[in-house]
Structure 1
Amino acid sequence: MSRKVPIALTIAGSDSSGGAGIQADLKAFSALGAYGASVITALTAQNTLGVSAIHDVPDAFIAAQMDAVFSDLKVDAVKIGMLSRPGAIRAVAQGLARHGARPVVLDPVMVAASGARLLSDDSLSDLKAILFPAADLVTPNLPEAAALLDVPMAEDEAQMQAQGEALLALGARAVLMKGGHGTGADSVDLLVTPAGVTRLAAPRHATRNTHGTGCTLSSAIAAGLAGGLGLVPAVEQAKAYITGAIAAADALDVGQGHGPVHHFHALWRA
């Protein structure tokens, strides 16, 4: 007897080295039992050492991809990643509204793990004004949250909570403040909602292979939501998944720079 498989859609940029972006999203969806569909917003010439070129997909073609997916597939959750231009942001926002897409997880991708800038300055205001109100969850890391609010990076959990609440006020229904750039033995994330704050902590692993962590976490949350989990259980599952993927990252030995996390750490045989 067949059963409906959860369907998750990623709207993001392509990473030619396979560690982040669309490729990481589809791997995370698959690892967590969701069928992945994709809308590509940009092509990057990229590897573990950095981004050497970006080719933007025309706005009309972004819209066409969205219409093709939603006209045929019953999408259970959407993850949004790299949107480098105001036109792309508007095309995605209009597509979400046109198809009534929910729930939506927005990862405000600004800088790659290698340090390459992926979001133009004139896109910041549109991201906040247009997409935040469409998002059920926004997942900034500490540098991204600081850039969104034009304030110094949070240095403790009290500042993380305050910045999460400030981002919540911009219209998102929930904010996950990711603490991977912080210090201490544990990596602490704070899920900030109008109902309160949920603290999620996991051991911090010393590795340079962190390429695609943000993409992977947000996609893992979307996979959980697509599968019917509530927001808190979906974030908790995703936190455990990315922690395992980071812990196993060194086993992959991919590339010469910031290698990828191990998306299939629980599935591949040693």
Structure 2
Amino acid sequence: MASMTRAGVRPYLPRPPLTSVLTALLLFGPGPTRAAAQETSGDEQRALDLFMEAEQAYEEGEVERAVALLQEARTLRREPVLLYNLARAYETLGRIDEALAAYEQYLVEEPDGSGRGAIETRVTALRRQIAEREALAEAERLARERPRPPPARPSALPWVTLGAGALSLGVAVTLGALAWDAREDAENDPAHSTATASLALAEDLALGANILYVIGGALALGGAIWGVIDLASSDLGEHAEARLRIGPGLARLDILW
């Protein structure tokens, strides 16, 4: 952090030895009259003590404490160098708005300081950071306020397919039962001609049942899988749970909302 001197601040230079800082602080500002010196010596000494405490706190990483000490010192002595050190401390804490304000006020109070060019460069950089931060905040605000697209609704086609599969399976069961009856009739019919016809009918019915079992099962399973995927990809999928159970002689889909 910078040191208090009669000539001002030399920014970003190594801190001078402690004794040099003390000597410089005791000499800063125009020499007061004897009466004024008696009135202000207490405040001046207190400001000096606070300045030194702040410098030590800053070097030890207690930056918040350094800020508080520098602010108290500013109430006693309006030295521009205190503003510079405050700005450095604010930057360390990431409080760039306050750092910028302190740098700008320092330039007002110390217009002819030897480090003015470096500080003006820092002021420009801080203004750019603040502008970028505000632009990002505005973009995030607009993104939050942008209307959301209408929620995606699950399609009915998967469930139509599932229903067609279930219907096919139902017809297959019916044909299977008829085939069984026709085969029993063929076995119990004493007449060869009618028994042969019943057996042929039973085989045709059984073939139709088997075909419908395959088609219906494929449609039902495909529709169920399609429906689960479609449901999961829609907004309703956040609040729904689908369970497909397949076992011997069983295919069941449960949807819990």
TM-score by length of 2: 0.25
Give 1 or 2: higher strand fraction. 1
Give 1 or 2: higher helix fraction. 2
Asked which structure has the greater RCO (Cα within 8 Å, sep 6+), the reply is: 1
Larger radius of gyration: 2
